[in-house]
Structure 1
Amino acid sequence: MNSSLSVTVDLEDWYHIPSVCSSPFSVYRSVDEFFKNWNGRYDFLSEPTKRVLDILDEFNVNATFFVVADTIEHYPGLVESIVDRGHELACHGLSHACKIDPETKKQLMSVEDFEQRTLTAKKMLEKISGEKLIGYRAPNALVSGWMIDSLERMGFKYDSSVSVNSIYNKTDSALSTVSSFPYYPAKSELEVGDDRDFIEFPWAYSQHGLKLPASGGPMLRFLGSSFILDGLMQSLKRGHTIFYFHPLDISCAKFPSLGNKRPFYWCIKGRFVEKRIRHILNKLSEVEKICLRDYSEVSCV
């Protein structure tokens, strides 16, 4: 097995998820509205992020952190600590707002609004990192071909949002030509296209008849490390692939009981999810691990 693996971390807090903020079915229309109305504790992110950084140090892994840019304002010093440890910063939106409707896949904001908000986030993160920011992951993995075209215009070099599987599709493309290894997306869509100055890093999947999403995140919490390892091992045989998780996945704190439609979203998390992450990293200790910025074709585009 000669393929490489990128360990990626989505830096967002509990209120960023679509059941609470910035989606068609959320309690609050935006994070700004949340902060205007919320009087309780909001920071459940800082403590588990510090533990994630320690885990990555322990396993000698340089990761790519997809950061929601408004965390810079609300968590002073947290994003700086990620840079200080040598990890890559990439963009996870300005405030984790959905850009397309989860059900219809229709645009929830104009191209102009998307580009303005994303450029603001990009500049905020570049100021912290001191480097050009080249990577993006769509909030909630809701991504569309028009967004890829915009990202390329804004100077991004890659996206990592596409999850090919037989259960759900969070894009507006059929993904019939996409697997689990990097590719050049076609203009204005997400199918495989010709060479361009932009790469998509799709997520891992496990195939046993059906293709099952196996890159991490909620599947790591609900289905366990053996399932994720199976998908990662299968995907590594196809080529470079992605493992991801959130600092919130290993938080032992009880989050506020606020949110619509997803009452059990955080029912499994904490120390035993941390053990699952450690188990996966240990089992894949011999696999080369690279930040997405260091993938050879990204440096060439």
Structure 2
Amino acid sequence: MASQTTASLTVDVEDWYHIPSVCGSTFSRFRDVDEFFEKWDGRYDYLTNSTERVLKILDQYKIPATFFVVADVIEHYPGLVESIVEHGHEIACHGLHHSCAIDSRTKKPLISSDDFRRVTAKAKGDLEKISGEKVIGYRAPNALVAGWMIDALEDLGFKYDSSVSVNSLYNKSDSELKGVSSAPYHPMYHGLEPVEYRDFVEFPWPYYDLGFKIPTGGGPMLRFLGAHIILQGIQQSLRRGHTVFYFHCIDIADEVFPNIGNKRPFYWMIKGRMVENRILRVIERLRSQDVTVKPLREMLE
């Protein structure tokens, strides 16, 4: 594979209670993170140790990554985001509290455009204050993204999003995604379909096309499908252009999380060292094929 082939390794920084079965969705146990902290009196931090392990892995391989951070991590994990910055990684935004902006079933807004702008502006400002740099990247919580959200992000000064996942199993957007593949593109106004140019870029996730498109961006699919299928999708997507791979820091946590979520009893059934080894396998494959790994910020150039 040519040395000019590029990919981005991206890391979502959120804890176990940020997932939609626990907080921030139409079916969650708690309405939002604020209610969670009002009512939860047990241990909550399963994020710090796994994030430190991720940073050590990236140091070992000398990989600069993009970390999509839920901004309330700044408050509840003092020093953690600062540590990511000190290791030289890009800080991007993963929402203020990881709350869904659209309904996972109907794709209708769960928040007004004005309120979305307000909370996202706060998240962006908090992350910029802690990182000392402009935050220009966004990933929608739970990858639930809509065209109106992109319009708001552009108005707030973001330059790119990385949430769109084209596949045959599900669609977490409010668009049909016609003409969208795994290659970066400019999304249209008020939608997510491609246009010739806009001063905003979407970095969609990879997929493996066997006539049936399997999502292979990472995350839960990495946990449940394993590294082989993920690598097949990444390899195929690299032939279409730049692609991304992602995982959560807590994907590699060895400890058992509290079992309080609704509707997703097996969500964390596979994680820990097994998933860490799968991540290492993906990294090793990219290295062996001379794929240049860059933060998404650098790909805008």
Deviations 1:125-153 (A, max 9, x none): 00111111100000000000000000000
Give the TM-score normalised by the residue count of structure 2.
0.98
Tell me what 2:291 maps to: 287
Tell me what 1:35 maps to: 37
Q: Find the partner of 1:174 among 173, 176, 189.
A: 176
SS in 2 for 1:284: helix
Tell me what 2:198 maps to: 196
Give me the whole-angstrom Cα distance separating, in 1, the residues matched to 2:186 and 2:107: 21
Tell me what 2:135 maps to: 133
Tell me what 2:66 maps to: 64
Q: Which structure 2 residue ranges, 5 or more long, are not aligned?
A: none
Give me the whole-angstrom Cα distance separating, in 2, the residues matched to 1:172 and 1:136: 17
Task: State the AA in 1 paired with 2:296.
Answer: L
Please, what is the CA RMSD of the aligned residues? 0.6
Tell me what 2:265 maps to: 263
Give the TM-score normalised by the residue count of structure 1.
0.98
Deviation at 1:194, TM superposition (A): 2.6
Give me the whole-angstrom Cα distance separating, in 2, the residues matched to 1:43 and 1:259: 16
Task: State the AA in 2 paired with 1:187.
Answer: Y
Deviation at 1:283, TM superposition (A): 1.0
Aligned 1:209-288 pairs, distance under 5 A = 209-285=211-287, 286-288=290-292
Q: How many residues are matched?
A: 297
Runs of 4+ in 1 over 2 A off after TM superposition: none
Give me the whole-angstrom Cα distance separating, in 2, the residues matched to 1:6 and 1:79: 20
Give me the whole-angstrom Cα distance separating, in 2, the residues matched to 1:195 and 1:236: 22
Tell me what 1:22 maps to: 24
Deviation at 1:118, TM superposition (A): 0.3
Give me the whole-angstrom Cα distance separating, in 1, the residues matched to 2:110 and 2:172: 14
Task: State the AA in 1 paired with 2:291.
Answer: V
SS in 2 for 1:41: coil
Deviations 1:146-182 (A, max 9, x none): 0000000000000000000000000010011100010
SS in 1 for 2:263: coil
Tell me what 1:161 maps to: 163
Tell me what 2:101 maps to: 99
Deviations 1:51-109 (A, max 9, x none): 00000111110000000000000000000000000000000000000000000000000
Give me the whole-angstrom Cα distance separating, in 2, the residues matched to 1:274 and 1:231: 19
Task: State the AA in 1 paired with 2:262.
Answer: N
Give me the whole-angstrom Cα distance separating, in 2, the residues matched to 1:41 and 1:283: 37
SS in 2 for 1:5: strand
Give me the whole-angstrom Cα distance separating, in 2, the residues matched to 1:267 and 1:123: 35
Give me the whole-angstrom Cα distance separating, in 2, the residues matched to 1:167 and 1:100: 18
Deviation at 1:272, TM superposition (A): 1.1
Tell me what 2:84 maps to: 82
SS in 1 for 2:264: coil
Deviation at 1:242, TM superposition (A): 0.5
Deviation at 1:3, TM superposition (A): 2.3
Give me the whole-angstrom Cα distance separating, in 2, the residues matched to 1:56 and 1:233: 21
Give me the whole-angstrom Cα distance separating, in 1, the residues matched to 2:30 and 2:131: 30
SS in 2 for 1:50: helix
What percentage of aligned pairs have identical amino acids?
Answer: 63
SS in 1 for 2:195: coil
SS in 1 for 2:151: helix
Deviation at 1:36, TM superposition (A): 0.1
Deviation at 1:209, TM superposition (A): 1.2
Give me the whole-angstrom Cα distance separating, in 1, the residues matched to 2:166 and 2:68: 20
Deviations 1:247-286 (A, max 9, x none): 1110001000011110000000000110111111011102
